[in-house]
Amino acid sequence: MTAVRIVIMCALLIAGVVPSTATSPHFEITIENGSPYFSPPIATVMTGTPIRWDNPTPTEHTITHDGCITDGPCAFDSGTMPPDGRYTVPSLPPGRYPYHCRVHPIMRGTVTVTNSAVPPQI
């Protein structure tokens, strides 16, 4: 390693800048057996953040964007998720995404994707 490279790496470490190839952390939503069924039931995430649903319940579920069953565009649909299954959406464009479980339509949630670190006022 050349001396110049060592100096640059030391400067980056001192400045707190560390090059990384790590992926951005995901936002986690957990499926629950009782109301509100999704925790959190209303989630706000930044654009580019992966969203992951975990199913620790003993029952199959789906994560289906409401647009998939209306005339709107279908942003995501997990298909049947088994017990202990996971479903991840890599990222979504800014917008509001109401979703539900097709197996249990009473189970509903909403994800809002924003470009801002400050959640929108509802």
**Given the structure tokens 């109301």, which residue do they identify?**
35
Burial of residue 81 (CB within 10 Å: 0-12, 13-18, 19+) is: buried
Domains in the chain and their CATH numbers?
A: 23-114 (2.60.40.420)
Is the predicted pLDDT of residue 2 greater than 70, yes or no?
A: no
Q: Strand 51-55's sheet: what is its strand order? A: 38-39, 27-31, 51-55, 85-89
The candidate with the shortest Cα–Cα distance to 40, out of 119, 110, 113, 120, is 110
Which residue did the predictor score with more confidence, 15 or 42?
42
Q: What is the pLDDT of residue 43?
A: 96
pLDDT tens, residue by residue, 58-104: 999 999 999 999 888 999 999 999 999 999 999 999 999 999 999 99
pLDDT tens, residue by residue, 24-56: 588 999 999 999 999 999 999 999 999 999 999
